[in-house]
Structures are given as C-alpha cells and as structure tokens.
C-alpha cells in the first residue's frame, strides 16, 4: 500500500528578535527570575506556546554536539582535583595526547552555568592548539556544578567573589608548578568567566596572559594592579557589558597597560557559545578564536 505524501509545508522557524535575546540576557545575569523571563518572552512572542518554542533556542543546549568530542584520540582529558584557597577544587584537564616536552598552560573559566560539557569542549579545543588546558569548577565549594541549570543559577547568586578570586589565584599557583607545564600561565573566560579573568588579572601579578570574552570590567582603581597583557573581546549588541568599555580603556591607557580591545559588530553576548542557537555567531566566534590562540601562543611560548 502506498502511503500518501504530505503536502503540508514545514513549520516556519519562529522569529527571534533582539528584544527576546536581551530578555534572556537579563535572565542569565540574574536580573530576571524564570517566571518573569517567561512572562516577558510570552509578551514578546505573542503567546505562551510560541514562548515555549523560543526559550530553548535562546538557552544553551547540553545536547548540542561538541566540536572536539570527549573521546577524540588527539586529546587526553581527565577530571582532577587540586588545592584551592580554602579547600579542594574540581577541574577538567585536557592536553595533547602526543605531548612532547613542557607546554604553556591555560585556565578556561566557565560561564555562570558552571563547568558543563560546552566548557569541557572548549578546554579540548585549547589543548588541540598545543596547550595544557585546565577548566576549574568554581562551584567546587558547593560540591561541584549540579546537573540542574536552575539549581546552578540559584547557587551562583551565593558565590563569594573574594572566594572566587582566591581560588582563581590558587589555580595560577597550581599551574605554575604543573609538571607538564612550562611555567607560563594564561587564562581565557566567557561571560561570568570573562569577568573572573579580569578579576584574576588584578589579583595575580604572575599571570602571563588574560583573554576575556564579554566580561565585566574591574574597577578603574584596580587597573594599575594588572601585569598581564589583555585581549578583550566584546559583542557589538551587548549594551550591558559594553557600558564599561570606555572607562576600562581610559584606565588601561592611564596605567600604560598592554591590551587590545575588539568589538564584534552585530554579535550578541555569548557569541562564542555554539550550543546557543540564537546567540552563536560563527563569524565573530571564529575571528575571536583565531586572535585568542595567536595571542596565547605568543605570550605562553
């Protein structure tokens, strides 16, 4: 029996507006709670049904395929622990499987969703570029990153910034003496992690390179404490984070610091996160990544 062929056109992809992306950004940065975000999204989408379809497209998806899979034979990855400032830190360590000799080391700092599969993937990408990459779990004081994103969000609101800074500094110390490292330590962070890398640069005079993706800037009075050269990536549409660029630039200039700022026009906050369908911008991500790797290779050789 021949089955009839459906002539129904495929469902149209819902329109995702900048206002929806901005609302999600407010939610991820703890300005909105889940209920208020969904109310706002429903208003913008026109119905609760449309909002339910759009919300997952705005969020990062843990089901999205990794760029460098976990069992890639070119990379050796493992979960480790090391001494933090006041307790044990959990982390994911990745390095080239065929490593010969000592390599520069890179701290990969997660977003405000903790150490998740995407950040582990990023660490493997860094390892493939010829580094030892360490992705710390800054939720280690709570026992590590929970699997529930809403629980992660709640816990992030209780993180002590001074404890985060101390654990970041302890991470630099760990990698400075790491047996397979060459003694040079860089850091790259995204979103919350970008702000954490900026904070680390203020607090770790022995940090050798710092790369911050759309990270909140340190206070102007703290900029003179920075010794590491900085590479700063910003998204052109990220008004919340970009509001601090001018003051940061002026402070860096006044303190005669080594830095480079790039603004990727038309890109949204989190443009590097390829697990977020609505916000990922491949062109901007590839350009920023190329600049990041070149910078780290220059500073950590």
Query: For residue range 118-174, what is the model confidence (pLDDT) as tens digits?
Result: 999 999 999 999 999 999 999 999 999 998 888 898 898 899 999 999 999 999 999
Distance CA 64, CA 28 (A): 19
**φ/ψ of residue 104, rounded to 5:** -65, 150
Q: Write down the domain spans for the chain.
A: 18-58, 75-300
The band of 10, judged by pLDDT with boundaries at 50, 70 and 90, is very low
Smallest Cα–Cα separation from 258: which of 196, 188, 211? 211
233 — phi, psi (to 5°)?
Answer: -105, 130
Question: Distance (Å, rounded) from C-alpha 52 to C-alpha 36?
Answer: 14
Q: What class has domain 75-300? A: alpha beta
**Residue 224 confidence (pLDDT) above 90:** yes
What's the pLDDT at 61?
65
The pTM assigned to this predicted structure is 0.88
Sequence-distant (6+) residues with CB within 8 A of 27 are 33, 34, 36, 37
Which neighbouring-strand residues pair with 77? 94
Is the Cβ–Cβ distance between 195 and 201 less than 8 Å? no
Helix (H) or strand (E) holding 248, with range, is helix 245-254
Q: How confident is the model at residue 184 (pLDDT cuts 50, 70, 90)?
A: very high
């Amino acid at each position: 029996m021949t089955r009839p062929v459906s002539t129904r056109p495929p469902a149209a992809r819902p329109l995702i507006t900048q206002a929806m992306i901005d609302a999600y950004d407010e939610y991820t940065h703890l300005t909105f709670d889940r209920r208020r975000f969904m109310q706002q999204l429903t208003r913008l989408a026109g119905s609760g049904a449309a909002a339910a379809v759009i919300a997952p497209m705005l969020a990062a998806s843990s089901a999205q395929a990794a760029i460098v899979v976990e069992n890639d034979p070119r990379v050796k990855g493992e979960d480790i622990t090391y001494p933090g400032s006041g307790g044990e830190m959990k982390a994911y360590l990745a390095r080239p499987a065929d490593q010969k000799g000592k390599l520069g080391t890179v701290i990969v700092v997660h977003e405000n969703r903790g150490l998740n599969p995407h950040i582990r993937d990023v660490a493997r990408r860094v390892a493939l570029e010829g580094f030892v990459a360490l992705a710390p779990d800054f939720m280690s004081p709570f026992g590590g990153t929970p699997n529930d994103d809403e629980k992660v969000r709640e816990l992030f609101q209780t993180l002590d910034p001074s404890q985060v800074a101390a654990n970041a500094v302890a991470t630099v110390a760990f990698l400075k003496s790491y047996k397979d490292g060459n003694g040079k330590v860089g850091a790259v962070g995204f979103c919350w992690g970008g702000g954490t890398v900026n904070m680390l640069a203020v607090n770790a005079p022995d940090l050798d390179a710092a790369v911050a993706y759309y990270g909140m800037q340190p206070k102007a009075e703290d900029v003179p404490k920075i010794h590491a050269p900085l590479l700063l990536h910003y998204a052109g549409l990220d008004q919340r984070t970009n509001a601090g660029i001018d003051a940061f630039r002026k402070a860096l200039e006044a303190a005669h610091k080594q830095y480079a700022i790039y603004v990727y026009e038309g890109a949204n906050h989190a443009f590097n996160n390829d697990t977020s369908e609505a916000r990922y911008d491949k062109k901007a991500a590839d350009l920023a990544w190329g600049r990041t790797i070149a910078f780290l290779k220059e500073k950590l050789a």
